[in-house]
Structure 1
Amino acid sequence: MLAVILLASTAMATPLPKKGEPPLTEQTKRSGGIRPAEQLALRFDTADLSFEVLPETQELAGVAVLDFIATAPVSRLLIDLDRNLPVSAVSIDGVALKPGTWSNPDGQLVIPLPRAKGTGQKIRASITYRGTPHVAVRAPWDDGVVWSKTPDGRLWFATTAQGYGCDLFWPCLDFPTAEPEQVTLHITVPTGLKAPSNGRLLGVDTLPDGRTRWNWRTRNPNTYAIALNVGPYEEISGSYKSRFGNTIPMHYWYLPGEKPQAEKLFAEFAPTLDFFESLVGPFPFGDEKVGVVETPHKGMEHQTINAYGNEYAKAVEGFDWLFQHEFTHEWFANQLTAANWDDFWLHEGYGSYMQPAYGRWREGEARYAAMMDLQRPQIAAKVPIVRDRVITEEDVYEAANGGPGLDIYMKGSWMLHTLRNLIGDKAFWDVTRLAVYGRTDLKPGNFKPRFGSSREYEGFVRQVTGRDYRWFFDVYLREAALPDLEQTRDGDRLTLRWKVANDRPFPMPIEVQVGDRIEKLPMTDGSGTLVVPADAHVVIDPWARVLKRSTAIEEFQAWRATRKN
């Protein structure tokens, strides 16, 4: 364990930072995308991270000990770190470097190695830093730290970093496949406060000045999922006996004075776990914990310490959607991680779909249909979800950057809904298990977090069904526009034809209700004909099983846009 950083808190001559301060470089704002060869030549083995949270000056101090293994020859380290956190000391393999050896002009710390490393050689870098971390404007949609106060005036602090990345508050490799095998955290906080974080609690040390140091360890975390949370928390804990035979610790840290609401939320943990373990598979981090912490921002899927800021809102569905959504990400983001942000829908499409799926689990088809219906008008269909190239998180998440934005959530969810109805429940959940775990013979301990892609997911569908559904994914993932189902009547003949961007093949079968009878048209070549009595009442896709264009929704969206302006 690293020695605690003993830094005296002194009054600053300059004002405390406001939201959006200090400013960030474009390099720091960039998470993922095409990476330098020097970063791709490293396998991130372990990180030992010591933090001090200094509320008087709103600073963060840290020492990061990072262990890498070279997968190709490398002569320097390129470590992502916000330049608002100036580095005061660096050592490589235990040898201190002279000041001026390293540089960080734009948010990427450049450290020349004293001796070049060959393939398979280990590198240990120790980096000491202290500075003013960027304050989020509107967390978690804008990243950074949140300095807040509890109702009784005590410190309430949190970090969020999905968009801009881990380099906002610790030295890391800021792209999805750069997960360390293991991270150990030592978080020193003011007297009387707690610091719940990722993984298993190793112990709490009380320092001579009364502060405490909270020590945690977690395995294979998403780098953006490393989280600091500080406050005068109270805790509810319990355990869950899994259907897979293991016992999983559960913890919820909440603010004082909220015990009744906190107990009701905690009561949702076990049934939600049972739902996921029944439909998907074992909780991926059962040897660590199910952890949730109340935060001064809305929420985020911080691995084993999910952020919750929904203020215990009630909903007609009878469960807390935000808790359930972030918990979904333990499987779809933390266990299964998109290797490239271009496949972000694997996180958020499933993240959104699992709320209606849970509604179906709890109450049946009516609840499921109602929840899916609420998502449908939110689909913009202006940009393809997948562009088949390496891109940054912001290039996907921000519509202003030309990305699909919320479509990775809602269009992704409706695509999964359509796929489940196309291939059937058993095949769909088998595909899901392969995507999440890489296998279907599941038991605790026989899998580890993995990276996935859209192309791999398509392969799993082909593996499970024995059929090639590339046409399905090409239309829903790689085209912006939704497929349009055109219909024409000629006497007693009803003809349906799919109109798809770029004239792609789209043999999507469709159900047609004629009177009280429902018939499924195979639409093998993208069209189908049905004999329909002239006076019959006809409903196309009566159960809304297929994602397709709706002129009514488009007109509603256009009308709503005028009301907002």
Structure 2
Amino acid sequence: MKKIIALIFICAFANLVNAQLLQKKENFTRQDTLRGSITPERDWWDLTYYHLDITVNPDNKTISGKNTIQYKVLQPNQVMQIDLQPPLQLTKVTQNGKELTIKHDGNAHFITLKNQQNIGDINSVIAYYDGKPREAVRAPWDGGISWKKDNNGNHFVASSCQGLGASVWWPNKDHMYDEVDSMLISVEVPKGLTNVSNGRLRSIENKENTTVFHWFVNNPINNYGVNINIGDYANFSEVYQGEKGDLDLNYYVLKDNLEKAKEHFKDTPKMMKAFEHWFGPYPFYEDSFKLVEVPYLGMEHQSSVTYGNQYKKGYLGHDLSGTGWGLKFDFIIIHEAGHEWFANNITNVDIADMWIHEGFTAYSENLFLDYYYGKEAASDYVIGTRRNIQNDRPLIGHYNVNNEGSSDMYYKGANMLHTLRQLVNDDEKWRKILRGLNSNFYHQTVTTKQIENYIAEQSGLELEGFFNQYLRSTKIPVLEYKIEDKKLAYKWSNTVEDFKMPIQVEIDGQTLWITPSIKNQTLKLKSNTSEIKIDRDFYIEVKAL
């Protein structure tokens, strides 16, 4: 039975991880570089505004329309890279009513502009496209559009594209480093269906056989955070009294699930209270917060978080930590909403640094427990998730080729942060660091180094070796010790060269800090039978010699 239960949790965790995270790709192609690097054809212009205006036809699984791309010229150049993935086709691009020449190169399309691009100018192009987008076979991990139907036979459609890229369903500048400042999303769907996208609903336009929903996003948004969700939805809402005032919480669920959702979604205001405490104000008050039911597990789409956890506690009814604490909350509501701070507010420049999204957000799960159930419960949970760690690859991937690091970015990342909290050794100071990250890097894209440097500066700790150990290697520090001649001899092994970390231990009932190194150090003991306990909150291995 224990093996069966373990297998359930392992499978559940595997389902959590984006399929691309599991690939150990080392041979990269030109397309990887075009997708993952800030090419010269991207670097010269800065996104300012999108208007995505599309028609979605669920009957034949097609999307057609256009995206108006407004930008500011940063340096002279006449060639622009726009991304769109086959089988969708970029049919035409215009500027000031003139059709432009397109050179197609796989997923990248190079547009030659006719007008002189002067530094400081605000210009726009319109990209027209149509076709059948890639269908997500196993959303959200493989990316694309889910074309499903609900139990009543109504179309139930949703997008998901993290890792694979937003260009799988609409044309855009598909790199994380440049977030558009604001965006209008206009989606035309068959009459009787509702489309829910990011931001606030600006207007509804009724036509003879279709309805157009216009959603406006007032804040910067990353491309993969943009979404469409189409279904036979019912809507209910509430107002949360948050740190910045009234925050609208809106819920869109299939009509058959309305009463169930009203009860189950009570985790949402609880989540908001805990996360505003730990991370600071919700970053998108102007755009509200929405939880939207979809035909897959869920994703962190900005201000339009998608939900498919079957109205169960835990992860589809299972506890990923094996401690019981994971059944105290709905995993998808807590985890995906946690991304509003880490992924949507603070966004990695390069997907190689995706641990910033997933490590902090996996860690948010135990902070939720900490807020409502206390530190011991939170420690139980995050320590319990260590069993999901594989240590197969470093958490940081390869830069400039759209390559994610190990799936360990979730729970190794969370346990690294939990360890770091112990080193800070001041809960209020640690909370200020987490809140400071979200205010200092508010609505920004960041690198790992920026995050490392900020935490080191604010904590006053020397952390270079610490981060190298946990982010850039697969080694877990081993504390080796032995008791001999009334002395405790101890040292670190299996560490990177510059690793330095003190650790808390209990000796004969007395708690103290020791600072191991790669060389043996000693500490006098009362006797050779002294009892040694290593603080479990540090993510290390212990070896008694």
Q: Same fold (TM over 0.5)?
A: yes
Deviation digits for residues 242-293 of structure 1 (CA, Å, limit 9, x no counterpart): 133x100011111122123201232122121111111111110011111110
1:426 is displaced (CA, Å) by 2.4
Tell me the distance in 2 between the aligned counterparts of 1:70 and 1:288: 27
Task: Kindly indicate whether the alpha-carbon contact (under 8 Å) linking 2:38 and 2:400 is maintained by their aligned counterparts in 1.
Answer: no
Tell me the distance in 1 between the aligned counterparts of 2:35 and 2:123: 23
1:130 is displaced (CA, Å) by 0.9
1:535 is displaced (CA, Å) by 5.4
Tell me the equivalent position of 2:373: 363
Tell me the equivalent position of 1:435: 437
1:516 is displaced (CA, Å) by 2.8
Task: Kindly indicate whether the alpha-carbon contact (under 8 Å) linking 2:488 and 2:525 is maintained by their aligned counterparts in 1.
Answer: yes
1:172 is displaced (CA, Å) by 0.9
Tell me the distance in 2 between the aligned counterparts of 1:369 and 1:216: 41
Tell me the equivalent position of 2:534: 541
Tell me the equivalent position of 2:464: 470
1:116 is displaced (CA, Å) by 3.6
Task: Kindly indicate whether the alpha-carbon contact (under 8 Å) linking 1:507 and 1:527 is maintained by their aligned counterparts in 2.
Answer: no
Task: Kindly indicate whether the alpha-carbon contact (under 8 Å) linking 1:176 and 1:340 is maintained by their aligned counterparts in 2.
Answer: yes
Count, aligned residues: 504
1:495 is displaced (CA, Å) by 1.2
1:27 is displaced (CA, Å) by 7.2
Tell me the distance in 2 between the aligned counterparts of 1:27 and 1:144: 22
Tell me the equivalent position of 2:73: 70
Task: Kindly indicate whether the alpha-carbon contact (under 8 Å) linking 1:30 and 1:164 is maintained by their aligned counterparts in 2.
Answer: no
* SS of equivalent to 1:138: coil
State whether structure 2 residue 522 is matched by structure 1 residue 529. yes
Tell me the distance in 1 between the aligned counterparts of 2:196 and 2:519: 54
Identity, % of aligned positions: 27
Tell me the distance in 2 between the aligned counterparts of 1:284 and 1:457: 18
Tell me the equivalent position of 2:421: 420
1:201 is displaced (CA, Å) by 0.9
- Pick one of 86, 89, 97 that aligns with 1:95: 97
Tell me the equivalent position of 2:410: 409
State whether structure 2 residue 145 is matched by structure 1 residue 145. yes
* SS of equivalent to 1:111: strand
* SS of equivalent to 1:103: strand
Tell me the equivalent position of 1:335: 345
Task: Kindly indicate whether the alpha-carbon contact (under 8 Å) linking 2:491 and 2:520 is maintained by their aligned counterparts in 1.
Answer: yes
Task: Kindly indicate whether the alpha-carbon contact (under 8 Å) linking 2:479 and 2:542 is maintained by their aligned counterparts in 1.
Answer: no
Tell me the equivalent position of 1:194: 194
Q: For the structure 1 residues 527 and 70, does the alpha-carbon distance in structure 2 shift closer, same or farther, using more than 3 Å as the test?
A: farther
Tell me the distance in 1 between the aligned counterparts of 2:31 and 2:331: 31
* SS of equivalent to 1:468: coil
Tell me the equivalent position of 1:37: 40
Tell me the equivalent position of 2:120: 120
Tell me the distance in 2 between the aligned counterparts of 1:527 and 1:422: 22
Q: For the structure 1 residues 328 and 80, does the alpha-carbon distance in structure 2 shift closer, same or farther, using more than 3 Å as the test?
A: same
Deviation digits for residues 529-555 of structure 1 (CA, Å, limit 9, x no counterpart): 23334453534323x121113689xxx
Tell me the distance in 2 between the aligned counterparts of 1:27 and 1:359: 45
Superposition RMSD in Å: 2.2
Task: Kindly indicate whether the alpha-carbon contact (under 8 Å) linking 1:338 and 1:344 is maintained by their aligned counterparts in 2.
Answer: yes
Tell me the distance in 2 between the aligned counterparts of 1:498 and 1:525: 5
Tell me the equivalent position of 2:391: 381
Tell me the distance in 2 between the aligned counterparts of 1:341 and 1:31: 14
1:32 is displaced (CA, Å) by 5.1
- Pick one of 390, 396, 416 that aligns with 2:399: 390
Tell me the equivalent position of 1:4: none
Tell me the equivalent position of 2:8: none
Task: Kindly indicate whether the alpha-carbon contact (under 8 Å) linking 1:29 and 1:163 is maintained by their aligned counterparts in 2.
Answer: no
* SS of equivalent to 1:74: coil
Task: Kindly indicate whether the alpha-carbon contact (under 8 Å) linking 2:492 and 2:518 is maintained by their aligned counterparts in 1.
Answer: no
Deviation digits for residues 145-168 of structure 1 (CA, Å, limit 9, x no counterpart): 000000011000000111111111
- Pick one of 507, 531, 534 that aligns with 1:514: 507
Tell me the distance in 2 between the aligned counterparts of 1:59 and 1:280: 40
State whether structure 2 residue 250 is matched by structure 1 residue 251. yes
* SS of equivalent to 2:272: helix
- Pick one of 469, 483, 489 that aligns with 1:495: 489
Task: Kindly indicate whether the alpha-carbon contact (under 8 Å) linking 1:508 and 1:526 is maintained by their aligned counterparts in 2.
Answer: no
Task: Kindly indicate whether the alpha-carbon contact (under 8 Å) linking 2:278 and 2:367 is maintained by their aligned counterparts in 1.
Answer: no
Q: For the structure 1 residues 411 and 204, does the alpha-carbon distance in structure 2 shift closer, same or farther, using more than 3 Å as the test?
A: same
TM-score (norm 2): 0.88
Tell me the equivalent position of 1:6: none
Structure 1 window deviating more from structure 2 (408-417 vs 507-516): it is 507-516
Tell me the distance in 2 between the aligned counterparts of 1:184 and 1:480: 43
Tell me the equivalent position of 2:319: none
Q: For the structure 1 residues 379 and 327, does the alpha-carbon distance in structure 2 shift closer, same or farther, using more than 3 Å as the test?
A: same
Task: Kindly indicate whether the alpha-carbon contact (under 8 Å) linking 1:297 and 1:309 is maintained by their aligned counterparts in 2.
Answer: yes
Task: Kindly indicate whether the alpha-carbon contact (under 8 Å) linking 2:342 and 2:361 is maintained by their aligned counterparts in 1.
Answer: yes
Task: Kindly indicate whether the alpha-carbon contact (under 8 Å) linking 1:280 and 1:433 is maintained by their aligned counterparts in 2.
Answer: yes
Task: Kindly indicate whether the alpha-carbon contact (under 8 Å) linking 2:335 and 2:365 is maintained by their aligned counterparts in 1.
Answer: yes
Tell me the equivalent position of 1:16: none
Tell me the equivalent position of 1:58: 61
Amino acid paired to 1:354: S
1:58 is displaced (CA, Å) by 0.7
* SS of equivalent to 1:529: strand
Tell me the equivalent position of 1:12: none
Tell me the distance in 1 between the aligned counterparts of 2:103 and 2:256: 47
Tell me the distance in 2 between the aligned counterparts of 1:123 and 1:526: 62
Amino acid paired to 1:476: Y
TM-score (norm 1): 0.85
Task: Kindly indicate whether the alpha-carbon contact (under 8 Å) linking 1:485 and 1:496 is maintained by their aligned counterparts in 2.
Answer: yes
* SS of equivalent to 2:195: coil
Task: Kindly indicate whether the alpha-carbon contact (under 8 Å) linking 2:487 and 2:528 is maintained by their aligned counterparts in 1.
Answer: no
State whether structure 2 residue 444 is matched by structure 1 residue 454. no
Tell me the distance in 2 between the aligned counterparts of 1:73 and 1:30: 22
Structure 1 window deviating more from structure 2 (363-372 vs 129-138): it is 363-372
* SS of equivalent to 2:539: coil
